Structure 1
């Protein structure tokens, strides 16, 4: 297939994946023995899972957080953040944050839909907003939050063979998590878990297990 045909096929696979039934996910999926506090209140947030046309197909937009941040310094993340008072919903928050963090104009983004919410160990309920960037885009990283903006191929993050289960110590216990490294970028934790959930749906709609 030509690159344009590959992009069209991958785009259609994303659209169809939204119709595949799936439940919510969490940072605790691989750690069922972790006891969650009763009555916990989760803060709503939205992240933009945005794909754009690349050289060989669709590419996923990701950021490397600033190493100077108090929370999650240097980690790989989607553009996005918590829902502010002025945001209509999680989608609005994701688009606003993407504009602030990487200079992405919301008018150039086609929102395809939302994926099931993901609960984090830090008390957020994150809604992944699946989207396409429709015009050529030159990122402008917000220096206080974003150290780098980069892309990963659709073919990499949608292939479950690239995902591994790894672990590290957290609050005195070994916590397991998904990781899907790409080159020098260590994509792990909530970002990897949400991507793997999308990969499961993309492959499920093709009848693959």
Structure 2
């Protein structure tokens, strides 16, 4: 089931457009990837947790540990694969967020479920769960072996044209959105989701879509800047 989990008028006004739109979008809104027929997929979920800080609405992100076997060092939403104890995508997203960032689920209100998205690299079928952080709790990298850092990133900073550009990877035909904000380099699945959410939520500002950078160069530049 996708769409709102609550009445849109029960959430803060700045979050209302996303809750209202969640039942009107489909997979094609977010990605061009669909699993080939007969492909084995692994169910997973991510928590897109919106709070409100000094700079307005923000979202919880983490940076994966550099030692992980897959997606090492990448910025992501809290989340992961479903387990037998989970009762569905919302349960998976909340459990994973607590395990990775220490967020207290009691202060989190799930408000909408987005369409399932296929991630070819990991073969995960990922369900994004939108939530309102109505009672924020302290967060941190619970297990340094899995998570290197946790941050609340302002949506206004993500929407800042100075922080947005596109990336390509030579020889692959890949092109996608990217962000550099608060010392984080965001690309791939997470950047794609954020890019669409900025638009659907009414936060998007005009930015230079002609600013296209090579992914490998951008990764090296970011590593140098954060030393």
TM-score relative to the length of structure 1 = 0.80
Shift in Å, 1:162: 5.2
Task: Determine which structure has greater relative contact order: mean sequence separation of CA pairs < 8 Å that are 6+ residues apart, divided by chain length.
Answer: 1
RMSD: 2.6
Match for residue 71 of structure 2? 72
| Cα distance in 2, alignment partners of residues 71 and 192 from structure 1 | 17
| Structure 1 residues 13 and 135: alpha-carbon distance in aligned structure 2, compared to 1, 3 A threshold | closer
| Cα distance in 2, alignment partners of residues 145 and 193 from structure 1 | 22
| Structure 1 residues 22 and 156: alpha-carbon distance in aligned structure 2, compared to 1, 3 A threshold | farther
1:114-165 Cα shifts (integer Å, max 9, x gaps) = 1222211221111111112222421131222110011211223356885433
Query: Does the aligned pair in 2 maintain the 1:118–1:127 contact within 8 Å?
Result: yes
| Cα distance in 1, alignment partners of residues 114 and 99 from structure 2 | 22
Moved more, 130-139 or 35-44: 35-44
Match for residue 117 of structure 1? 116
Q: 1:1-209 alignment to 2 at 5 Å?
A: 11-20=12-21, 21-25=24-28, 29=32, 37-121=36-120, 122-141=122-141, 142-157=143-158, 163-169=164-170, 173-203=172-202
- Gaps in structure 1 of 5+ consecutive residues: 1-9, 205-209
| Cα distance in 1, alignment partners of residues 13 and 45 from structure 2 | 23
TM-score relative to the length of structure 2 = 0.74
Match for residue 210 of structure 2? none
How many residues are matched?
189
Task: Tell me the SS of whatever aligns to 2:156.
Answer: helix
